[in-house]
Amino acid sequence: TKAAKAAKLPPLPRQPRLVDLLRVYNVRNKKFLGQNFLLKKSITDRISTQAVSKTRRGGRVLFVEVGPGPGGLTRSLLEAGAKHLVAVEKDTTVEPLLGQLRDSSAGRFRYVLGDIIDPDQHGLYERIMAEAAVCDVLQRQRAAQVAASDLDTQAEEETATMEPFDQVHIVANLPFGISGELVAMWAQQAAERKYLFSTPDTGMTLMFQKEVCERLAAPLGSKKRGGLSVQCQALFNVTQIMTVEGKCFTPAPKVDAGVAQFIPHRQDKLKGVPFAVFRRLVRAMHHHPNSMVRVALRHNGLDRVVDLLPACGIDPTQRAFMIEIEAYVELARRCIEEGVDLKARPVRRGAKAATADEVDGDDGGEESEAGGE
C-alpha cells in the first residue's frame, strides 16, 4: 500500500570503508578514550543482530549507542533495522564520519557530542531525546514527500507530535576504562526509573573486557560474582552472549572482550527496598569477597547486620558470592525495619585481629565499584 511504502525506510546507501575514512579525516586513535575500534563488519553485525532481536517487533524502539567512534557498530545497527538511533560520543575528531552517516541515514541516525558520564545526566538525556525527536520529524517529512509524489501533489507540512518510545535499548562497545562506573550508574538509574530507564523495558547489549563481562554475568556460587554483578542481576537478567578476541580490534588490546545482554526483570526483585540501601549492603558484604560475610560486615563496622543474617536465611560463614539476591533484599528490608545505619565505617586494620579461619584471602584493600567487584 501507499502508507506502507511511505513508512518503509530505504537501506543505507553504500558507505566508504571505515579504514579509508579514518585515514582521510586523519583520526588518530586515543588511548585515554579507550579507543579500540571494531572495524570487522562480521562482528559488529553479530552484535547488532543480537541487540535488535531483543527488542519488541513493531514497537517504537529508541537505540542509544555509547561511543560510536568511526561508526562501525552504528552502521550495523542501522542495517539490522534500527529506525531511531542516537549516539553519544565524546571525541569530536570523529564528527565528520558521524556527520556523513547521519546525512545518509534518511533520518534514522543522529548523534550528540558529549560525555556519557556527564554529571548533568538530565541535560544529556534531554539532548538525546531531542535528537530522537528530530529522527521522527525527518522520517515524517520523508514519508509525506513519498506519499505526495505518488499523488503528484505538494507535501503537507506536518506538525511534529512526539510519541513516546515503547522501549529503549542501549548498545555499546564500551571504553574499558569507564565501563564499571557506567554500569553502576545505569544500574542506579534503572532502579530509579530515570532518564533512559524511564521506559520499563530498557535493555542493554554491551561489550566489556572479557573478565568484567564474565563477572557481571556470573551465576550464584561462582567466585567471579561480585558486588556489581549482584546489583545488576537484581535488576536485569544478565547473560554473556559472545566473546571477541583482542586481535579483532584496531588497535588490538592485550585482552579479549565479551558481550553481555541486560534484559530487565518482569517483576521487581527489590520489592520496594530502596536501591541505595540494597547497594550499600551488597557492597559492604563484598568488601572482602573471599571472607565470610560476618567478617566482611564486621570489618565495615556493621556488627548489627551480622545479628540479622540467620533470620534472613543467610549462614554468617558463607561467602558473599553464595548468597541469593532475594536474601540480600530481605536483609536490606530488615536493616530498614531495625533502623540499622548502613553507612560503612571500615574498621582500622589491626584494630581487631580476625582469626585465620575467618579470613580467607582477605587482601584488606579498598574495592572500587568498577573492576574490583
Shortest reach from residue 180's CB to ligand SAM, in Å: 13
124 binds ligand SAM (CB under 6 A): no
Helix (H) or strand (E) holding 125: helix 121-151
Q: Which is nearer to ligand SAM, 125 or 278 (CB)?
A: 125
Q: Which is nearer to ligand SAM, 88 or 323 (CB)?
A: 88
Q: Which is nearer to ligand SAM, 88 or 184 (CB)?
A: 88
Shortest reach from residue 250's CB to ligand SAM, in Å: 8
**Burial bucket for residue 27 (CB in 10 Å: 0-12, 13-18, 19+):** buried
- State how far the Cα of 98 lies from the Cα of 92, in Å rounded to an integer: 10
Helix runs in 266-368, H state only: 275-285, 293-299, 303-308, 325-337
Strands 37-38 and 249-250: antiparallel
User: What's the gap between Cα 138 and its chain centre?
Assistant: 28
Instruction: Give the CB-nearest residue to ligand SAM.
Output: 67
CB 101 within 8 A of CB 77: no
- State how far the Cα of 323 lies from the Cα of 333, in Å rounded to an integer: 15
Which part of the chain contacts ligand SAM (CB under 6 A), choosing from 62-70, 95-103, 158-166, 224-232?
62-70
Q: Which is nearer to ligand SAM, 38 or 342 (CB)?
A: 38
Of 7-46, binders to ligand SAM (CB under 6 A) are 33-38
Q: Which is nearer to ligand SAM, 21 or 293 (CB)?
A: 21
Shortest reach from residue 227's CB to ligand SAM, in Å: 23
Category of 350 on φ-ψ map: left (φ > 0), alpha (ψ -120 to 50) or beta: left
CB 63 within 8 A of CB 169: yes
- State how far the Cα of 229 lies from the Cα of 193, in Å rounded to an integer: 19
- State how far the Cα of 89 lies from the Cα of 110, in Å rounded to an integer: 11
User: How big is the CA angle at 55 (ends 49 and 61), to the nearest 5 degrees?
Assistant: 110
- State how far the Cα of 158 lies from the Cα of 362, in Å rounded to an integer: 65
Shortest reach from residue 137's CB to ligand SAM, in Å: 25
214 binds ligand SAM (CB under 6 A): no
131 binds ligand SAM (CB under 6 A): no
Of 175-204, binders to ligand SAM (CB under 6 A) are 175, 178
Q: Which is nearer to ligand SAM, 149 or 243 (CB)?
A: 243
CB 235 within 8 A of CB 269: yes
Shortest reach from residue 84's CB to ligand SAM, in Å: 18
Shortest reach from residue 36's CB to ligand SAM, in Å: 5
Which part of the chain contacts ligand SAM (CB under 6 A), choosing from 85-93, 121-129, 220-228, 338-346?
85-93
Q: Which of 75, 83, 84, 90 binds ligand SAM (CB under 6 A)?
A: 90
Give, as one character, the DSSP assignment of residue 31. G
Task: List 204's β-bridge partners, or say none.
Answer: 170, 262
333 binds ligand SAM (CB under 6 A): no
Strand order in the sheet with 236-244: 109-113, 84-89, 61-66, 167-173, 203-209, 257-264, 236-244
Q: Known binding site for S-adenosyl-L-methionine: residues? A: 36, 38, 67, 89, 115, 173
- Greatest C-alpha distance within the chain: 86
Number of residues this chain uses to bind ligand SAM (CB under 6 A): 22
108 binds ligand SAM (CB under 6 A): no
Which part of the chain contacts ligand SAM (CB under 6 A), choosing from 88-96, 186-194, 218-226, 301-309?
88-96
212 binds ligand SAM (CB under 6 A): no
Instruction: Please give the residue ranges that form the binding site for ligand SAM (CB under 6 A).
Output: 33-38, 66-69, 72-73, 88-91, 115-117, 173, 175, 178
